[in-house]
Structure 1
Amino acid sequence: MKAAQIVEYGQPLQIRSLAEPTPGPDDAVLRVLASGICRSDWHAWMGDWGWLGGRVELPRTPGHELAGEVVAVGSAVRNVRIGDKVTVPFHEACGTCAYCRSGHANICDNMQALGLSHDGGYAEYAKIPTADFNCIRLPENVTPLAASAIGCRFMTAFHAVTQQGQVRAGQWLAVHGAGGVGLSAVQIAAAAGANVVAVDIDPAKLALAKQQGASHTVQATETTDVPAAVKDITQGGAHVSIDALGIRTTISNSVRSLRKTGRHVQVGLTGAEEAGEVGLPIDVITTSELTIVGSHGNPHSNYPLLLSLVDAGRLAPETLVQRTVALDQATEVLSEMSDFRTAGLTVIDRF
Structure 2
Amino acid sequence: MANRAPSLDESVSRLSSSDPRGVSEALETLGDALCAEDHQVRERVARLLLKELERPEATKAYAPILHLLQTTWWPPPVSLTQPAMVAVLSAVSRLDAEAPALDDAALLVANLYRMAPLPLSALEQALGHEQASVRRVAAGVVGRVGESAVSLLPRLLTALEDVEPVAGAALESLGSLAPAAPRLAVPALVDQVGRAEGTRQYLALMSLRSLLEDDRREGQAAPELAALEPVLLKSAEDSQAPIRLESVSLLGLGRLSSLATVATLRRHLLDESPRVAASAAVALLRVGAPPQEAATLLSTLLTSEDSEKDMAALTALEGVESATLGRIRDSLEQAANKAKGLVAEAIRELLLA
Same fold by TM-score, threshold 0.5 exceeded? no
Q: TM-score, normalised by structure 1?
A: 0.25
- Structure with greater Cα Rg: 2
TM-score under structure 2 length normalisation? 0.25
- Structure (1 or 2) with the greater strand fraction: 1
